[in-house]
Structure 1
C-alpha cells in the first residue's frame, strides 16, 4: 500500500538503469533499497559510501529540480556548522529510465536510525542533541527569515490544518481533549528572532551509536525558523529526565519550551491519522509524542 495517492513507484532495476545511464562510474556498485519510515523519499544505497534519494510524490520536473537544488545548498551549509556527521550532497540525477523526476545522491552515514535503537533514556544522547541544536542556532542567518513553508512561523497559521487533523482523527484519538490543548498552543506568542534550524528532528532522521548521537539525516530543510522548532526533538526522542537535560543545556525559558511542545503537537497530530494504515511506524511515533505532551500538561 502506497503512502500517497500521487506516489511514484521506484524499483532497484530503475535505479540501476539510471545510475548506468547517468553515473557510469558507479555502475559496478551494488544497489539496495533501504527499509525506511521516511515519507518524502525512497532511499537506495549505492555501494558502501553513497545513498540516492528519489522523491515519492509526483510533481513537475522543473519544480522538483528547484527543490533538490535548494536542499543540496542547505545540506552543504549545515555540514559546515554541524559537530556531528551529516550527509553531504554529491550529485543530482535527471529524469529517465522509468522515473519522471530529478533525484539526488549524497554521502552515506553509518549508524542505526533512532527508530530502531531507542536512545530516549540517555542523558548523554540528550547532551549530544543539544550540542547539535546549539551549533545550528549559532550559524548566521545572513538576513534570511522563515519562508512560510511548513512549520516554524506562526502557530495559529496552522488552524485549518489542525481542524482537518481533528476531523480525521476522531476514530484514533481523544479529539476533544486535543482540541483544548491546541487552543492553548495556538495562542503562544512569538517573541524571539529566527535562528537556523534543522526543522525535522524526528527519530527517522537521527542516527545512534550506543547511547550517543552518531549523525543527523534529512538536512535539506536547514534554514531560519522559530528557535523553538528544533525542540520538537525533546518530545519525539526523549524521556522526561533526558528531556530536562536538553532544556537546561539549551537554556530554554518557559515560552520557548511551550512553543517547542506546540510544534511537536502540530507535527504529531498530522502523522497519526495520515499514516495510520500506510506507515504504522510513523503513525505510532505521532501517538507516542502526543502521549508525552499530554503527560506533561497534566
Structure 2
C-alpha cells in the first residue's frame, strides 16, 4: 500500500527491536508484533503481552505524543472507560528521526472490526464518557494550561478545506447536497460557554470493544479544550439513527451544539475521504459512512 503522507517515516519490527535494545534494554527480549491499524499518524507494535510501542509516522505526531504523556495520566482516574497509559518516552535513534513512546497495552478490537452487541448500551457508555471528560476542570489547571483543541474551534475555520474536498469529490458524492448541508452548518451559532475537555476524534478506529461492549478510548492526538460539539461526531461515525437519539438524550445537548457536531462529522468525513481513499481504505470507508449518515439524518 502507498504511504498515507508524503513525509511518512518507514518503520518495521527490526527498527523497534534496535530502539528497545539501545534505550530500554529491560524490554529488549520481549516479542514484537506489528499491529494492523487504520490509524493515520502512528505505527503500533505489540511488545510482550502488556505493552505497545507507538512510532510516529510524521513529525506532527510528536506534539500529539507529548500532549498525551502530559495529560492522560491526569485524566484517566476521572473517566469511566480505559484510556492509554504512557510508560516511557524514547528518543530518536537507529536511523529513526523522531521521538517515540511505550504504552500499557489495552485489550480489545477496534470498533471498525469488532461488532458491538448492544448498540443502545454503547450510546450510553459513550455519553457517560464524554460527560465525565467535560466535567474535568479545564480552567484551573496548573501552567502551562490545557491545549486548545484544533477541533474545539468554530466550524468556519474548516470552510476552505471542506470546499476544496467537495470539489475533489465531484462525481463521487452529491456535491450539491453536501454543500447545502455544509452551508447550513456554518449558520449555526458558535459556542460561547466555557471551554471543556474534548477527545476530538471519536471515530470507530479509536474505540476498543471487548465482549461486545466499548471498553476503551484510544488516540488522544487532538485532545484539548474548546467547543464540546466535536465529540458528537461519534453519533454519525458509529451510531445508528435510533441509537443517536439515545446518545443525544443521555447527553442533554442543546440544538446548536448538536448541529455543530453534525457539521464536524461532515467536515471530517469530507476532508478525509479524498486524502485517504487510495492509501487507507478502512479509514476512507469510515469517512464515507459519516458523510452518508449526515446526509440521511
Matched, 1:114 2:111: yes
Shift of the 4–246 alpha-carbon distance from structure 1 to 2, 3 Å rule, reads: same
Equivalent residues of 2:149, 2:222 under 8 A apart: no
- Equivalent in the alignment of 2:263: 262
Matched, 1:57 2:58: yes
1:35-55 Cα distance to aligned partner (Å, 9 max, x none): 000001111111111111111
- Equivalent in the alignment of 1:204: 205
Count of equivalent residues: 292
Equivalent residues of 1:48, 1:108 under 8 A apart: yes
Equivalent residues of 2:56, 2:62 under 8 A apart: no
Equivalent residues of 2:118, 2:213 under 8 A apart: no
- Equivalent in the alignment of 2:164: 164
Matched, 1:88 2:92: no
TM-aligned CA deviation for residue 75 of structure 1: 1.8
For residue 131 of structure 1, the aligned residue among 128, 131, 137 is: 128
**SS of residue in 2 equivalent to 1:106:** strand
Superposition pairs of residues 208-287 of structure 1, within 5 angstroms: 208-287=209-288
- Equivalent in the alignment of 1:182: 182
For residues 134 and 258 of structure 2, what CA distance do their matches in structure 1 show?
A: 15
1:47-86 Cα distance to aligned partner (Å, 9 max, x none): 1111111111246xxxx65543222112222212211111
- Equivalent in the alignment of 1:153: 153
Deviates more, 1:185-194 or 1:91-100: 185-194
Deviates more, 1:114-123 or 1:231-240: 114-123
Q: TM-score, normalised by structure 1?
A: 0.93
Shift of the 146–295 alpha-carbon distance from structure 1 to 2, 3 Å rule, reads: farther
Equivalent residues of 2:269, 2:287 under 8 A apart: yes
Unmatched tracts of structure 2, length 5 or more: none
TM-aligned CA deviation for residue 152 of structure 1: 1.5
For residues 261 and 215 of structure 1, what CA distance do their matches in structure 2 show?
A: 23
For residues 153 and 120 of structure 1, what CA distance do their matches in structure 2 show?
A: 34
TM-aligned CA deviation for residue 201 of structure 1: 0.5
Equivalent residues of 1:121, 1:242 under 8 A apart: no
Unmatched tracts of structure 1, length 5 or more: none
Deviates more, 1:215-224 or 1:271-280: 215-224
Shift of the 171–146 alpha-carbon distance from structure 1 to 2, 3 Å rule, reads: farther
Equivalent residues of 1:227, 1:256 under 8 A apart: yes
Q: TM-score, normalised by structure 2?
A: 0.93
